[in-house]
A and B are shown apart, each in its own frame.
Chain A
């Protein structure tokens, strides 16, 4: 059963007056040292799911006291309850004594007793509704809970009882953590902050061993891993790595993070260790089953039959597992170093618009795409990201180009093929777009271009425009 620890920070200044580390999001990240499920709750509140985590800090009372002490500069008040709404109400309107703000788990009567004396504003309803309820004599939550619902709902809206049900656990009200819950977590805590790069790397390697042990037990491999570094002054640094296939080799995982740290240093965006990191956590955010694979049998490589079979399955080149491993490791390392958006593979799309027919997607995703339908006509080897406007001369407004000027060079067309008409995909965009007539042209020097004329003469436009979109060899 989930247990929610809600924190109220009454003296937290508005976000615009704070530097980055003091913002509510930064505080939520700091709270992730207690539990991975931490979320912000409005501009002045935090909510943590501490089920299964509180005992690591000496129990719920000790954890609550610890958080209040650490956030004392913001006059923090915390409460623990079975529902986030009850926790929110107790943190703001509950008794002064901290231990009284911890509601017993699974005891609905105790919960009802605890909240019934709270003002209706503790239901987190609109202030106008709360004022109206008070004016009619319904000042406490207990006053509402014991009365027939229909008349109150008819007069003040259904939100009053929706909130009440959520507070009492009669309806679900999940929290929305800043980061998803990891599948596997390992962490190391230090009395003194760790500053040296080699110590951080060694810690990550040790944690990778721990995490990989867990993965082995479940026969899974990590696809997405995050290293979270908690600095002693509360700042949190998160480093994400993704792999193109399920991975559970500690050395490889550690190497990915080494690449990432290298890139952080290379970008002059130093890690900023400050006084050091007192908690380093390695979390597998996403894991996938890792199928057994056998590349060699007693030193004999995979048989040629298997290779041929792989070729027949349309995988392009058939390769041994060793070659695939080398490729995947390289892609992962480069993605870690330069970013996933820098290491790309082609991905066909179900569209006939040339610029969208084959897009680039991060190679680390490792998705297998179906074979796209072959285009009717030949396609260029290079495609400009934005078609370039050219000046073209044609015999007729809807005829092929005779001559065009691109980048201040005039090209005389001696051969052409076209038009290949491609209509716009009207269902994709609200703005009307024009039909394109594509021409494959060759100039007198043998240079080949892919041009198009935008707009059908008369029916769509009076002045069609010409563009060059690609280059042939």
Chain B
């Protein structure tokens, strides 16, 4: 190889390294997988409550997503949770699933003692191709739950055509978002229009403020700092509401061309 050729190669490598470093600084996944991920085919979602007390809201959003996939794929939902998370935040309650259009018969819960078991069960569930949606809920994320693990799960989900949702604790500088996908959302509770009983207002139905926490520019037209309004009633009534709210199309929805076909 000529000196010029070698210099050119080194220059290319330096450029690539700089790009990777810039990506890492921006908090995005650094692998080629992440770069090539087509958001329209994303199969891995990472949801984090904006604050610990928003865990109920984040759970509801995860359940709404799962119910959406379950309806689209005509399959059951698996919820894999760490024991500690269920003790701390409660167990998914059967009668409460009805509001999300989920039948309690189509809901399976795995409560596991260790976080490593949660990842193992999630990977097995993805491979099994038996569930329309798989939700994993660890109590916390630690150093071992590295982006590589998330990448592995995301790749597995994409290969198997499964929909995996990670319901994680609030993200912060020490525990940033990990998923190698633009589908990273921060969820907080949002007051919904309240029906009234006489002069007294009643609690509204489920509604969320959703912030897209994907890498900058990963979702064109979405303000990454703003919380977008999404409510359950609209979400259950029409399948395009979430997409309209977030200006993106979820994988469960067929494309316009597919519909026409």
Given the contacts A342-B111, A440-B203, A381 and B129 also touching, CB distance less than 8 Å: no
Complex-state Cα separation, A407 to B110, whole angstroms:
26
Q: How far is the CA of A346 from the CA of B207 in the complex (A)?
A: 26
A385 to B87, CA, bound (A): 7
Contact with B along A310-346 (1 / 0, CB 8 A): 0000011111000100110111011000100011111
- The answer to whether A323 and B130 have CB atoms under 8 Å apart is yes
Q: Which of B61, B63, B75, B108 contacts A331 (CB 8 A)?
A: B108
Task: Pick the residue among B93, B94, B128, B191 that contacts A446 (CB under 8 A).
Answer: B191
Closest Cβ of chain A to B75, distance in Å, is 6
User: Are A317 and B86 in contact, with the CB atoms below 8 A?
Assistant: no
Q: How many residues of B contact A (CB 8 A)?
A: 63
Rounded to whole angstroms, the CA-CA distance of A315 and B54 in the bound complex is 33
The answer to whether A382 touches B93, judged by C-beta atoms less than 8 angstroms apart, is yes
Main secondary structure of the interface of A (DSSP, over half): mixed
Q: Nearest B residue to A441 by beta-carbon distance?
A: B203
Residues from chain B with a CB closer than 8 A to the CB of A417 are 197, 202-203
User: Given A315-B105, A330-B125, A330-B130, are A382 and B92 also a contact pair (CB < 8 Å)?
Assistant: yes
Contact A416/B203 with A316-B105, A329-B128, A445-B189 known, Cβ cut-off 8 Å: yes
Q: Mark A360-379, 1 if CB is under 8 A from B, else 0.
A: 10010000010010110011
Contact status A383-B103, CB under 8 Å:
no
Asked if B76 is at the interface (CB within 8 A of a chain A CB), the reply is yes
> In angstroms, how far is the closest chain B Cβ from the Cβ of A219?
26
Let me know if A415 is at the binding interface, CB within 8 A: yes
Q: Is A166 an interface residue (CB 8 A)?
A: no
> Which residues of chain A are within 8 angstroms of B99 by Cβ–Cβ distance?
378-379, 381
Contact yes or no, B106 A409, CB < 8 A: no
Tell me whether A345 and B110 are in contact (CB under 8 A).
no
> Closest CB-CB distance, B206 to chain A, in whole Å?
4
B189 and A317 contact, CB distance less than 8 A: no
Contacts of B87-129 to chain A: CB distance below 8 A: 87, 89-100, 103-113, 117, 121, 124-125, 128-129
Chain B residues near A125 (CB, 8 Å)? Answer: none
Query: Is the beta-carbon distance between A470 and B90 smaller than 8 angstroms?
Result: yes
Per a CB cutoff under 8 Å, which of A346, A357, A415, A445 touches B203?
A415
Known pairs A358-B95, A473-B59; A333 contacts B124 (CB<8 A): yes
B128 touches A382 (CB 8 A): no
The reply to whether B86 and A385 form a contact with Cβ atoms under 8 Å apart is: yes
Q: Does any Cβ of A come within 8 Å of B254's Cβ?
A: no
Task: Name the distance in Å between B149's Cβ and chain A's nearest Cβ.
Answer: 17
Q: Does B204 contact A (CB under 8 A)?
A: yes
The 8 A CB mask of B186-217 against A (1 = contact, 0 = none) is: 00111110100100111110111000000000
- Does B183 reach chain A (CB closer than 8 Å)? no
Say whether B108 contacts A358, CB under 8 Å: no
A333, A380, A381, A385: residue with the most chain B Cβ atoms closer than 10 Å: A381
Taking A317-B76, A342-B110 as contacts, is the C-beta distance between A471 and B90 under 8 angstroms?
A: yes
B90 touches which one: A346, A382, A407 (CB < 8 A)? A382
Interface bits A73-94 vs B (CB < 8 Å: 1, else 0): 0000000000000000000000
Which residues of chain B are within 8 angstroms of A379 by Cβ–Cβ distance? Answer: 93, 95-96, 98-99
Q: Is B108 a contact of A381 with CB atoms below 8 Å? A: no
In the complex, A447→B59 CA distance in Å?
A: 12
B89 near A346 with CB under 8 A, answer no
A317→B98 contact, CB < 8 A: no
Q: In the complex, which residues of chain A have a beta carbon less than 8 angstroms from the beta carbon of B91?
A: 360, 382-385
* A345 contact from B55, B60, B107, Cβ within 8 A: B107
Nearest B residue (CB) for A449:
B56
Q: Indicate if the CB atoms of B59 and A382 lie closer than 8 Å.
A: yes
Q: Is residue A391 within 8 Å, beta carbon to beta carbon, of the partner chain?
A: no
A448 sits at the interface (CB 8 A): yes
Which residues does chain A contribute within 8 Å of B55, judged by CB atoms?
471
With A470-B96, A471-B56, A473-B61 as known contacts, state yes or no: A446 contacts B190, CB within 8 Å.
Answer: yes
| Residue ID in chain A nearest B57 by CB atoms | A473
B204 touches A381 (CB 8 A): no
Q: Tell me whether A357 and B95 are in contact in the complex, defined as CB-CB below 8 angstroms, given that A415-B202, A446-B191, A473-B232 are known contacts.
A: yes
A444 at interface by CB-CB < 8 Å: yes
Q: Is the C-beta of B255 less than 8 angstroms from some C-beta in chain A? A: no
- Is A414 an interface residue, CB under 8 A from the partner? yes
Nearest chain-A residue to B97 (Cβ)? A381
Task: Jot down 19 A-B pairs with beta carbons below 8 A, ordered by A.
Answer: A316-B105, A317-B74, A317-B76, A317-B106, A333-B124, A334-B124, A344-B111, A358-B93, A379-B95, A381-B63, A382-B93, A385-B86, A385-B87, A407-B53, A414-B191, A415-B201, A416-B202, A442-B194, A444-B191
> Interface residues, chain B, CB within 8 Å of chain A?
53-57, 59-61, 63-64, 70, 74-76, 86-87, 89-100, 103-113, 117, 121, 124-125, 128-131, 188-192, 194, 197, 200-204, 206-208, 232
Extra contacts besides A354-B95, A472-B206, A473-B59 (5): CB < 8 Å: A338-B110, A382-B92, A417-B197, A448-B189, A470-B90
Q: Please list the residues of chain A having a beta carbon within 8 angstroms of any beta carbon in chain B.
A: 315-319, 323, 326-327, 329-331, 333-334, 338, 342-346, 348, 354, 357-358, 360, 363, 369, 372, 374-375, 378-385, 407, 409, 414-417, 440-442, 444-449, 470-473
